[in-house]
Structure 1
């Protein structure tokens, strides 16, 4: 089976209760050269009921509205779950595009951990038609996992233009950020993979390291390019 090598990752987020979010838009020039594998956001939050967790991974920032952009067939999106707090993935959820469908694998234990991945047991494969502008294709498998893949409005709000002024110092932006600011990501899209998973399929949890008494697991996302 072909190996897939990491290009970009975003960091671990401890979750179980509440909402976990990481965002990373408008990369440095060398990263933008591989824009089809650039992760913009990771979200993890309670699902349609308290027994489910939703994972959202978005790629390809600042897509023009109305543009039916496509997932890169050489890029796998991988959601990693760490159940014991050692920051090594115990389970993975993988999404691989082929034609007009996104194929999902897992959650399952990976054969290897870290930068190199192979597609996990194909018996856990499910698929959903990729949604474009105006489409809303979803799928649910016999385990109760729900799937979506396609264009979504970019939820990120940031005044990037003013930020560039602020970082140049008070002589350029004496008043700092504007109130209200301008959302430079308004009317732009991202490509999102969304999976809602029953918690019973996500393995165990561990005590929050801050001693809050909350049980959590870690989650992070990677995009990995086929080699």
Structure 2
């Protein structure tokens, strides 16, 4: 694959501790990117069912209607999804895992050191793996080199009562209901999921987490970057 420079469009940020699940979400409050193929809705990082693995899940294109595929509801071949991993707590990416669509498949690169840090990226073509993009009738999970891969539509997993949130902001309510109304129930996102052996992610800062002082901590965030 030809190497190409890409430019950051929008990023979401989350911090991952190996034994703890964390999330960053941004669905419909970013007007400049809402509804575009580069819009990040959620990012999840957590320990896998296999305790020797980490799982990264990046969701894009929120509020999609299930069963009605459109050109918008497809991964964009000009958009790179890049997971950034900082393993020494300097808030700069030391490793990246990249994903980009080509035809009916999603191609993955890394984890590897980035060619450059910051807003521009070059696809790390030396480590290429792929999986066919799943549909509601065709589930595909790729496995290679101890890693697992998935790309395709999934129901939006994020729970948020957006209407009650607006009522609280307007002063018409003082608290949220329990359990509340799931605003995103029944809508889809496009998900990219990568399971990686911890052995492929060297480093990590030990002694920072007061609840698990021997557990390495990584700063992890996701970006979408458009081809220049």
TM-score, structure 2 normalization:
0.92
Distance 2:169 2:104 in 1: 42
Residue 89 (structure 1) aligned with residue 90 (structure 2): no
Q: Residue 188 of structure 1 aligns with which residue?
A: 187
Judged with a 3 Å threshold, the aligned counterparts in structure 2 of structure 1 residues 12 and 153 are, in CA distance, closer, same or farther, namely closer
Distance 2:29 2:138 in 1: 29
What is the DSSP-based 3-state SS (H/G/I as helix, E as strand, rest coil) of the residue aligned with 1:29? coil
Matches within 5 A, 1:129-144: 129-141=132-144, 143-144=145-146
Gaps of 5+ in 1: none
Conserved 8 A contact 1:67-1:133: no
Conserved 8 A contact 1:15-1:219: no
Distance 1:134 1:189 in 2: 15
What is the DSSP-based 3-state SS (H/G/I as helix, E as strand, rest coil) of the residue aligned with 1:131? coil
Residue 116 (structure 1) aligned with residue 117 (structure 2): no
Distance 2:152 2:30 in 1: 25
Q: Residue 58 of structure 1 aligns with which residue?
A: 59
Residue 207 (structure 1) aligned with residue 206 (structure 2): yes
Conserved 8 A contact 1:80-1:93: yes
Judged with a 3 Å threshold, the aligned counterparts in structure 2 of structure 1 residues 208 and 167 are, in CA distance, closer, same or farther, namely farther
How far 1:208 moved relative to its partner? 4.8
How far 1:12 moved relative to its partner? 4.2
Q: Residue 28 of structure 2 aligns with which residue?
A: 26
Conserved 8 A contact 1:104-1:127: yes
TM-score, structure 1 normalization:
0.92
After superposition, the CA RMSD in angstroms is 1.5
Q: What do the CA deviations read for 1:43-91 (whole angstroms, capped 9, x no partner)?
A: 1111131111111000011111213321111100001111111011111
Q: Residue 177 of structure 2 aligns with which residue?
A: 178
Residue 149 (structure 1) aligned with residue 148 (structure 2): no
Conserved 8 A contact 2:14-2:24: no
